[in-house]
Structures are given as structure tokens and as C-alpha cells.
Amino acid sequence: QLLLTSAVLLLAAACGMPIGYSAVLLPQLYDTNESLAIDIEMGSWIASVHSLATPIGSFASGPIMDRWGRRPALLLAIIPLFTGWVLLATASSHVLLLLGRMVAGVSVGLIAAPAQVLLAEIAEPRLRGLLIGAPFVAYSLGILLVYALGSQLHWRAVAWGGTVLPALSFVAIYFAPESPTWLARNNQQDRASKALTWLRGCPIAAKKELQKLTERFEQEQEQERLDGSPQSFWHSLKEIALIKPLVIINGFHVLQILSGTYLVVFYAVDLISDLGGSDINTIQAAVLTAIVRLAFTFLYCFLLLLMPRRSMVCISGLISGASCIAIAIFMYVRSGEPTASYHTYVAATLILIYIGSNTGFLTMPGIMIGELLPAKIRGQIAGYLFTVFNLLLFGVAKGFPYAKAVLKTQGLFVMFGVASFGASLLMYLLLPETKGRTLHDIEDYFGQRNWLWMKRPRKETAPTTPRSADPEGQPLKVIVPST
């Protein structure tokens, strides 16, 4: 499991680099001495076009990974990522810059859903949170890497450096096994058995797990026969077991974007310049924020092993919201006054607290998409969810410079704070605690009638088999969380 995750981590780091590249590229292109100098309008397009293109890949990724498998979908997606970097490195016009950003964006969209679904399907319940969250460490490492390269190198040299990780990840994933869940649901039992044996290291455990996967699939097929026809994708959208995860995931996506999780990545240099004044080296400060984001993402991955998901995301949101409001108050009080030496230290402390706490939001969408969606349409729905997410992200990223001109930086941080508090409230009310639960248990929980987590049934009704004897754990509905 760790070996396969490591292969995906290489690819996740490769995806993080184009996300952070705009923070490196734009300051250099705003220089009037640059041959491809730009104005604010072109700069906003270069920053946001990546997010505009990503939904194209996300939309296509669901059918591709359901038809050909998770692993082939990832291999296919690496090709445009490599091509996008080459286009950026050799660009001779603004059109080619935009094209390179678009091609890389399509690739990131193609990668996101298959990577999260693959890790969710190969992981044991006790390791699933760590393994699904680990790509976000690599993702943050990719952002840090591109910031670090951009602080020392010309943007073309940074683009050439961006081709290395896609090439390495292609080789690593080529030798990785396919998802046993996908294989079992596509009548490839021998390959599923071999993949599970390799992943678990124990033929007996692999046989038992494959039997459960097969039984679940057969139950779904039997239900379809009783209904008289195979269940269509659109019919599945009417099921309560899917509606509830969609509300939770999409609601969190909106609030996460408005909390600034990605906007601070795209416009790191601009925001830090406004916050810290002219006395701060903005490029070095952007690198420092990326280091903080990487360190906290690493921390959150281990917290996923030690504490409930709900507690982690709620606490992250509360601290993030409080720090944003504090930043807004600090900027309002300081406005119009001469910059004092202590202002830089206060600004740095507040922004680092905000980035550190808000990073907890970064890991949650992947975890929720991997854990909350029903297995029978997990691949297809995951792709569409990432499509909606990236369309929202594009709109917000494109409008950010104009919102900043109207609201000013302090107004933006008020918005970040309110959205952070809202995300915490949403997760507290609706998100079930999934730590240590099997994907089957989570799917069964969403089939119940309750929407609020605190209103779930507390007692098991006449079980035929004592669940305590099941090594996969008890159903979600009998768990009493700490929050």
C-alpha cells in the first residue's frame, strides 16, 4: 500500500507545481523589461485559465477510469502534464503561455479523481485517512518546489524543471497494480486476487476481502434484477445514499474556496505584499508560506491517524476563521499609519497561523470523495465533483483581482474568516465520523434517513452476527463521536 501510494505521491507533487506556478510567473511577467510583459487583465487569465481547463479533465476522468481502470486513467493523464510544461518553457507569445497553462490544467483535472479513488480503494480502513491525505503533502511539496525554483530561476527554467516529476511518476505508476475494487466489479477476479495479495501481503486476508467485494457487487446486481432493469446513472442520483454526500462535498467545496485555501496559493506574492508592506521580501515570504503549508499538511496527515476527521476539520476552520478576522482588524487599524518594525512580525505571525490552520481544509475534499461516495458510481461521480469544484475555483480566481480592488485586502480576509466558520459549522452538522470505518459501512450509513450526524440512530437493531467479531469494525450508526 505504501509503495503504490508513493507512486501517486510523485504524481501529486507534479500536480502541485502548475498550481503554484502562477505566483512565480506573474511577478516576472509584470516586469516591463520581460519580452512577454503582461498587464493585470492578462495576468488574471494566466492565473485562472488553469482552473478553467481543469474541469475539462475532471469531467472526462470519471468515464475513463470507470471504463479502463484507475491506473490507465492516471497514465493517460500524465502525457498532457508533460506537454503543458514544454509549451510553457518554449512559449513565444501570450497565446502559447495560456495554451500551456490550459493543457497542464486539463491534465491536473484528469489526475485528481482517479488518484483519490485509487488510494481509497486500495487502503485498509486503519490507514485510509493517512494514505488519502498523503497526496496533499506531496501537492504542497510541489507548490513549495515551484516557489523555491522561481525565487532563483527564470520562469522558463522553472517550466523545464516541471517536466521531471511527470516523467518519474509515469514510470512508477506503470509498474503499480490496478484497484482491486475496480477489477472485482469488472469480473477480473484473478487480477483482483493478485492485486489484493500484493497490497495486503497475506493471501488469506486478500481472499477474505475479495469475497466481500464480490458479495457486495452480486447483491447490487441482484437488486437490479429485482428492479427489472440495470440502474441508470441518473436514477442513482435520486438515491438518498448519494444525495447526502453530494450536499456535504459540494457545500464544503464552496466554503473552502471562499476561505482562501487556493487563492492564497495563486496570489501569494500579492497578498503578502499588501499585508506586510514594502519592507518584506515577498518572494521569500511566499516560499515561507509554502514551507508552512507543507509542514502542516504533513501534520494533518498524521492527525488523521490519531483523531476523528470531524474534530480536525472543525478545529481547523475555527482557528482559520479567527486568524482571518484578526488579520482584517490588524490591517484596518494599521491603515494610514506609518509602517513600524513590529508590523512585519505581527503580519507574519497572523498569516502563518491562518495558512497553517486553513491547510486542514486542503486534505478534506479528497478524503470525502474517496470515502463518502457509493462504490458503484464512485469513479464517475468523483470526476463530476472535481469538475464543479474547478469551475467554482476558476470563477473565484478570475474575479479575485477585481474583488480585491473593491473589498481591499482586509475585506477579503473578512470573507475568508466567515467562510471558514461556515465550513466548520457544515462539517459539524452533516459530516459523519468515518475514521476506522469500512467503505461499506459508510455507504450503509448514508442510506439511513437522518441528515444530521447527531440525529443518527444510536443502537443496532437485531444484528444476525455480532459486529464486534468483524475485524472491519462496527457500523457508523453505533459510534458516539467526541464532537
* Residue linked to cell 502562477: 22
As a whole number of angstroms, the distance between CA 223 and CA 208 comes to 23
In contact, 206 and 197? CB cutoff 8 Å? yes
Written as one string, the DSSP assignment of 21-85 is HHHHHHHHHTSTTSTT---HHHHHHHHHHHHHHHHHHHHHHHHHHHHH-HHHHHHHHHHHHHHHH
As a whole number of angstroms, the distance between CA 420 and CA 355 comes to 12
Among 16, 200, 19, which Cα is nearest to 124's? 200
As a whole number of angstroms, the distance between CA 469 and CA 33 comes to 71
Cell of 430: 452533516
As a whole number of angstroms, the distance between CA 103 and CA 54 comes to 9
Beta strand residue intervals within 229-273, DSSP E: none
As a whole number of angstroms, the distance between CA 114 and CA 442 comes to 20
Q: Quote the pLDDT of residue 414.
A: 93
Q: Where are the domains of the chain?
A: 1-176, 239-451
In contact, 439 and 117? CB cutoff 8 Å? no
Q: CA 466 → CA 441, 447, 461, 469, distances in Å?
A: 15, 21, 11, 6
Largest CA distance in the chain: 76
Please tell me the pTM assigned to this model: 0.72
239-451: what CATH class? Answer: mainly alpha
Among 299, 309, 350, which Cα is nearest to 329's? 350
1-176 in CATH: which number?
Answer: 1.20.1250.20
* Helix/strand/coil for 482: coil
As a whole number of angstroms, the distance between CA 182 and CA 213 comes to 10
* Helix/strand/coil for 412: helix
Q: Quote the pLDDT of residue 320.
A: 94
Written as one string, the DSSP assignment of 313-327 is HHHHHHHHHHHHHHH
**Cα 178 → chain centroid:** 21
In contact, 475 and 460? CB cutoff 8 Å? yes
In contact, 83 and 170? CB cutoff 8 Å? no
* Helix/strand/coil for 351: helix
Q: Do domains 1-176 and 239-451 have the same CATH topology?
A: yes
For 43, list phi and psi in degrees, rounded to 5: -60, -40
Question: What is the full per-residue pLDDT of the chain (483 aa) written as tens digits?
Answer: 788 888 999 999 999 899 888 878 888 888 767 778 777 778 878 887 887 888 898 888 888 988 898 899 999 999 999 999 999 999 888 899 999 999 999 999 899 888 988 888 888 877 787 888 888 888 888 988 888 888 888 889 999 999 999 999 999 999 888 888 888 888 888 888 888 888 888 888 878 888 888 877 777 777 667 665 555 666 667 777 788 999 999 999 999 999 988 787 666 666 766 766 555 565 666 677 778 778 888 888 888 888 888 999 999 999 999 999 998 998 888 776 666 666 777 877 888 888 888 888 888 888 888 888 887 777 778 888 888 887 888 788 778 888 888 888 889 899 999 999 999 999 999 999 888 788 778 888 888 888 888 887 765 443 444 433 333 334 444 443 444
As a whole number of angstroms, the distance between CA 239 and CA 253 comes to 21
Q: Quote the pLDDT of residue 73.
A: 93
Cell of 129: 485517512
Cell of 424: 466548520
As a whole number of angstroms, the distance between CA 166 and CA 2 comes to 19
